A = this chain, B = another copy of it.
Amino acid sequence: MGSLQNQKPENGFAGTIKPLDPEEFRRQGHLVIDFLADYYKNVEKYPVRSQVEPGYLKKRMPESAPYDPEPIEEILRDVQKDIVPGITHWQSPNYYAYFPSSGSIAGFLGEMLSTGFNIVGFNWMSSPAATELESIVMDWLGQMLKLPSEFLFSGGGGGVMQGTTCEAILCTMVAARDRVLKKIGRESINKLVVYGSDQTHSALQKAAQIAGINPNNFRAVATTKANAFGLTAEALRETIESDIKSGLVPLFLCPTIGTTSSTAVDILTPLCEVAKEYGIWVHVDAAYAGSACICPEYRHFLDGVENADSFSFNAHKWFLTTLDCCCLWVKNPSALVQALSTYPEYLRNKASDAKQVVDYKDWQITLSRRFRSLKLWLVLRSYGVANLRKFLRSHIKMAKNFEGLIGMDKRFEVVVPRNFATVCFRISPIEIGGKHNQIVTKEEAANNFNAKLLETINESGKIYMTHAVIGGDYVMRFAVGSTLTENRHVILAWKVVQEHANALLTMS
């Protein structure tokens, strides 16, 4: 019978529920570790993209919460039976969709420790180790990325762990907004303009929206294939000039290192120069590709960051740290603090009063915060800089191999140059030339065909990729980044693509 048997009510008042009994914790904890170890062993066998239909779970669940306790063994059986089929297996070696989330043992253990201590680290006092470890690890990581010292605590700036890039952008935008409104007056909030490109992640627009920027003042500057879908300084300047002529006030620019659709890179040096002229806050979003920049041969993608105001990347994407962990550095923490600080009486304490310490609550949206630095610290120590570089390079090499395989099959084409470990490819329009007519153009036919091909591949459950539309072209994105992916999986993936293409081309 279940482990919670002895938690059944005895005689009256509550004496019997022991939800944090150490020995019961040990027993149940070991069960779940084994459950997950087995999951990783078997993850390759599951269809990568979940094959359930909307509403599947409601049919399997009771209408209301149970009145009486249920044993962990039964719950784990239900996880296997009801939850696992509804999971899209981001940890599968055959997962190439969106940008993968690279889990690791070290990241997992760090999250366990953080969850186990379960501290609420809003200020230094609430758990000094949480704040101090975060500051230390952020400086370590900043050094690994060769960020200019102004971004590090040791150089007067500093780093903070946010949940996601959305938060990093929102916090820095609010800091920028308030800095400007302090000068020009709050009534001008409707004049502020935010700049990205048509390739920038939707997080920028959403942050602007939340921060109260007028939706008419969000600029997605057009990019072109000729510029590899990077934002150019010329296009940016032209847009800014036009806004200024209209009486608007340029506020915030968000260049991207490794865009979501095609991993394009906005070249920072010229963009930061333009931004500087107009007093615009530059936040560099390297959510995906920032990780690669710890390798000397990729660091050049960050050239120019010395003229930005803030920089962030997601350690939960491609750095073996489990969701969520966005690393944000700012040159001027006081701009963040001025915009985001609150100091109610019930949080007052000697260390904060004496301004001896960092209180991270003033660097982020929320008050409460988890002990996130533990997982990044464990990742850095468990693997070391050398292995982390190797890990990243191995993915880039696998993506290159995949690109090579595409190159050997004339029916396919790589649509944009590969910068990192993501390949954007499609069946060439020439190959399906016969299928267009006066209603559907050749390009439309190609887009439709590739969309159909991708859907049949994903339906097979063998691999999972997602799509993008780049310069009007529908492309399949092959993003290597799952921790368990090895070259054999990449070779298998290519076979899967070819087989489905063969079938679809023959059918049509």
Q: A380 with B39: in contact, given A19-B104, A57-B136, A90-B120 (CB under 8 Å)?
A: no
Cα of A7 to Cα of B388 in the assembled complex, Å: 11
Q: A13 with B50: in contact, given A56-B132, A64-B143, A140-B64 (CB under 8 Å)?
A: no
User: Which of B49, B143, B370 contacts A323 (CB under 8 A)?
Assistant: B370
Tell me whether B64 and A37 are in contact (CB under 8 A): no
Tell me whether B54 and A20 are in contact (CB under 8 A): no
B residues near A109, Cβ cutoff 8 Å: 28-29, 32, 72
Write the A28-56 contact mask toward B (1 if CB under 8 angstroms, else 0): 11101111111111000000011010111
Number of interface residues of A (CB under 8 A): 162
Tell me whether B166 and A206 are in contact (CB under 8 A): no
Tell yes or no: A351 within 8 A of B by CB.
yes
Cα of A321 to Cα of B42 in the assembled complex, Å: 29
B residues near A89, Cβ cutoff 8 Å: 117, 119
Q: A128 with B88: in contact, given A32-B109, A101-B120, A112-B115 (CB under 8 Å)?
A: yes
B residues near A324, Cβ cutoff 8 Å: 366, 368, 370
Tell me whether B41 and A22 are in contact (CB under 8 A): yes
Tell me whether A117 and B90 are in contact (CB under 8 A): yes
Tell me whether A382 and B72 are in contact (CB under 8 A): yes
Interface-forming stretch among A402-410, A431-439, A465-473? A465-473
Tell me whether B205 and A345 are in contact (CB under 8 A): no
Tell yes or no: A24 within 8 A of B by CB.
yes
Interface-forming stretch among A186-194, A230-238, A411-419? A186-194
- Say what secondary structure dominates the interface of chain A: helix
Write the A259-297 contact mask toward B (1 if CB under 8 angstroms, else 0): 011000000000000000000000000000000000000
Q: A128 with B86: in contact, given A105-B24, A106-B19, A323-B368 (CB under 8 Å)?
A: yes
Tell yes or no: A353 within 8 A of B by CB.
no
Tell me whether A69 and B384 are in contact (CB under 8 A): yes
Most buried by B among A61, A170, A190, A210: A210
B residues near A397, Cβ cutoff 8 Å: 13-14
Tell me whether A37 and B50 are in contact (CB under 8 A): no
Closest 6 CB pairs of A and B: A212-B212, A86-B129, A14-B394, A29-B33, A19-B104, A26-B37
- Pick 5 A–B contacts, CB within 8 A, sort by A: A19-B382, A103-B115, A103-B118, A119-B323, A346-B477
